[in-house]
Chain A
Amino acid sequence: METVVIGINFGSTNSSIAVLAPNGHFNVIANADGERMIPSAVGFQGDEEFCGTQALQQAVRNPKNTLEGFRKLIGKKFEEVKVPSDATHPDMVSKDGLPAYKVSFKDQEHIFTVPEVVTKQLKHILEEAETYLGSKVTGAVLAVPTYFTEHQREVLTSSATAAGINVLQIIQEPVAAALAYNFGQNPTKGDAQDKTALILDMGASSFDVTVLSVRSGIYTILETAHDESLGGSSFDDELVKFIAAEFKKKTKLDVTGNKKALLKIKTSAEITKKNLSRTPGAPCSVESVAEGMDFHATINRLRFELMSNKLFAKCNELIEHILEKADLTAGAIDEILLVGGATRMPKFQSKLRDIFPETPMRLDQESDEAIAVGCAAQASLIAGFEKEDIVASTKENITVTPHTVKPIGVVGSKGEFITIVPNHTPLPVKRVFEFGQAEQGQQEVYFALYEGEQDALPEKKEKVEK
């Protein structure tokens, strides 16, 4: 059978699919309506079950039977999850100890566990891919956040398998993004591409920060941090507060306790927020917020940035915190890779300049597509391998390796340290370098290898090789 493999980004808010196109580029698959993002949502209405865009479209009208945010609950027990249960959220119950949604469907009450809902969503993704490709998909690589546990990965794998997906490999989101950006993947003899990236992923529900080093094309995660109060959705909430206050000024109606009204406002606020990334002012319209009254206004970007000031500041604090944890200065970061839809906010990007005045910021991938593209790149790389070999190569005996703690290098005539093998390099390592001859016809050379850039170079630390 012909191998057709895809990369799947199953995000907690949006999913997307990428494939290797005949021209060697990776394409993100669009559905019949031209949409490249598939909302991670499942909905039930009357006799029908919806996934993706259709599920989201009926969310405001039918919130009790619209399931969202289920990716976060994968592999969790019922007692571990804290989910709001109110007029705008579906009811949750425990089924065999697992969190499950209680929905009404076909005039009956139905209970679907989180893994079952995940299977529905993944099945929808698979169908979209097969419709687009016009053929069966033979394998897929999926990505998960760095904080997913082994158990969560297993549950995701079995839900995907139940959806008919042959899971080739599960990789980490920031690592997928690094692959999509082709970060450090083309080392040559003259340039080992020893670099360190800061990967900033702001989706809807969290801000995930990763420091990743690459040494001769091999990635090591040095540090991770994440904050669930800093997703794109928190920025929507700032706008909601503002709109509710404006609405009250105009109509004397207080909607702060009115969940349904707030949900309506939030849906419109998100659209306004996205538009504000492109234009300095954007309209915001909410039909029949409460008591049949509408809200219409134009919101300018500066206003939005002011109300979100604290959130932007917290983003920078998290970044400074991770640098400190990784024991790195801002200057040690060679590139910043932006991932996740919310990193498109201009203020988010300009704020980064407070910490990194000149560090190159990569925007060449559509930020919310990078993960799917990276998964597709990995999928096409391993498409021809036997499943057992893929599994064997990801076992600890191969992936856990010693890394250098300090750089190893030589010292130049002015006493300067020249790094040959940097710190954080997985061992064994091979480095090829050339140096100039001191004299014509010279037969022998003497050089001293030193370790540790920061230390003064005591005589004793010398290691000499011919």
Chain B
Amino acid sequence: MVLDFLLPSPPKSWSADKTSAFHAGITAPTKASIQPVGRHFLAHARRYIHSRTFSEDEK
């Protein structure tokens, strides 16, 4: 995905020595079933079974 815009400049309150700041959490996710079909689901199942992250999985 290529985002075709310039990022806004940081607000005054921003200090560069912090790597990130959380102002609010995301809305609690809802539980739902994903369908156990297709290549991408199989990759998901493999990551789950081997408790791997995406980056570990790519290796």
Interface residues on A, range: 35 or more
Q: How far is the CA of A402 from the CA of B49 in the complex (A)?
A: 17
* A444: chain B residues within 8 A (beta carbon): 16
Q: How far is the CA of A459 from the CA of B2 in the complex (A)?
A: 26
Given contacts A221-B35, A393-B36, contact A406 B19 (CB under 8 A): no
B31 touches A466 (CB 8 A): no
Per a CB cutoff under 8 Å, which of B5, B19, B22, B37 touches A219? B37
Q: Tell me if A267 counts as interface (CB < 8 A to partner B).
A: no
B3 touches A410 (CB 8 A): yes
* A179: chain B residues within 8 A (beta carbon): 37-38
User: Total A-B residue pairs with C-beta atoms closer than 8 Å?
Assistant: 169
B40 touches A220 (CB 8 A): no
Within 8 A of A (CB), among B1-28: 1-11, 14, 16, 18-24, 26-28
B7 touches A447 (CB 8 A): yes
Given contacts A406-B26, A460-B23, contact A434 B33 (CB under 8 A): no
What's the least CB distance linking A382 to chain B, in Å? 8
Report A266-303 CB contacts with B as 1/0, cut-off 8 Å.
00000000000000000000000000000000000000
Q: How far is the CA of A452 from the CA of B26 in the complex (A)?
A: 9
A461 touches B40 (CB 8 A): no
Q: How far is the CA of A413 from the CA of B7 in the complex (A)?
A: 6
* A412: chain B residues within 8 A (beta carbon): 3, 5
Q: Which residue of A lies closest to B47 (CB)?
A: A428
Q: Which residue of A lies closest to B32 (CB)?
A: A403
Chain B: residues with Cβ within 8 Å of the partner, total of 43
Q: Tell me if A192 counts as interface (CB < 8 A to partner B).
A: yes
Of the listed residues A397, A433, A436, A445, the one surrounded by the most CB atoms of chain B closer than 10 A to its CB is: A436
A438 touches B33 (CB 8 A): no
A461 touches B1 (CB 8 A): no
Q: Tell me if A366 counts as interface (CB < 8 A to partner B).
A: no
What's the least CB distance linking A178 to chain B, in Å? 8
Q: Tell me if A431 counts as interface (CB < 8 A to partner B).
A: yes
Q: Tell me if A175 counts as interface (CB < 8 A to partner B).
A: yes
Q: Which residue of A lies closest to B23 (CB)?
A: A462
* A176: chain B residues within 8 A (beta carbon): 37
What are some 11 contacts across the A-B interface (CB < 8 A)?
A172-B35, A217-B39, A221-B35, A393-B45, A398-B48, A402-B31, A405-B28, A424-B32, A436-B3, A438-B7, A463-B20
Interface residues of chain B, those whose CB is within 8 Å of chain A, are: 1-11, 14, 16, 18-24, 26-42, 44-45, 48-49, 53-54
Interface residues of chain A, those whose CB is within 8 Å of chain B, are: 169, 171-172, 175-176, 179, 185, 187, 189-192, 216-221, 378, 381-382, 392-394, 396-406, 408, 410-414, 418, 420, 424, 426-428, 430-436, 438, 444-448, 451-452, 459-466
Given contacts A175-B35, A217-B40, 8 further A-B contacts (CB under 8 A): A217-B38, A381-B39, A393-B36, A420-B1, A427-B29, A432-B1, A446-B10, A463-B21
